[in-house]
Amino acid sequence: MTTPRFDVDVVLFDLDGTLLDTIPDLHEAARRMLEELGEPTRSLDEVTRFVGRGIPNLVERCLTDGRAACDGASLEAAVAVFRRHYAAVNGRSTRIYEGVADTLGALQAQGIRMACITNKAGAFTLPLLDHMGLAHFFGCVVSGDTLPVKKPDPAPLLHACEALGVSPTRALMVGDSANDALAAQSAGIPVLLMTYGYSEGRAVDTIECDGLVSAFPGLLRLIGRASA
């Protein structure tokens, strides 16, 4: 795939699997939840496959994937247990992918505005961005509960563009999964996918997108402003 250069005013970034490797903390929270509920544990690889559509989906898959179904009340209770444990470990073992901070700084220096759009709940998103020292890069943060819908619905992307006063025609999405690609495509926004992310166990090169990027600093060769 030959990836073009994108002349944009705003870049919309996914969080988990794109900017940050959050799996160690999500796995630990899931382990603690399952232990408290008396359920069998899940491996790191399993939790990695379950990440991407928000906490309720992650918890439901931890409880039911390949196992018995879970009723609504039990799921709601389990989500509350997970959230309590995740609050205790959020950011503890998370790491920033190599080159992220420098690349975001370089984009900022060009006058490119940035937003973070994630399906993670806001109660965990904002503290995590602060803890990892990335919050100051983003003029807008759209979490999984900011709107009534989340990715792959295009609304979070369009909401961020509106909040920043930028037309979607001058935007680019950077993510790691089909959720990001589908949301961007529905919003009429081109999308680049990082090859090192999670993508719910799906091979990233099978997802329709406008380009694949193997290392975060590689974005600088693909993104710019005509006026920069």
- Catalytic residue numbers read 14
Cα dist from 192 to 51, 101, 117, whole Å:
19, 18, 14
Give φ, ψ of 124 to 5 degrees.
-105, -30
Annotated binding-site residue? 16:
yes
Cα-based distances in Å from 27 to 16, 32, 52, 100, 218: 13, 9, 13, 23, 29
Q: Going by DSSP bridges, is the β-strand pair 6-7/140-142 parallel, antiparallel, or unpaired?
A: unpaired
For residue 200, give the DSSP letter: G
d(CA 196, CA 42): 21
> In angstroms, rounded to a whole number, what is the distance separating the alpha carbons of residues 68 and 66?
7
Is 180 annotated as a binding-site member? no
Establish whether 45 is an annotated binding residue.
Answer: no
Q: At what angle do helices 122-131 and 72-89 cross, to 10 degrees?
A: 10
CB atoms closer than 10 angstroms to residue 84:
13
Summarize the annotated binding site as residue ranges.
Answer: 14, 16, 176
Numbered residues of the known binding site for Mg(2+): 14, 16, 176
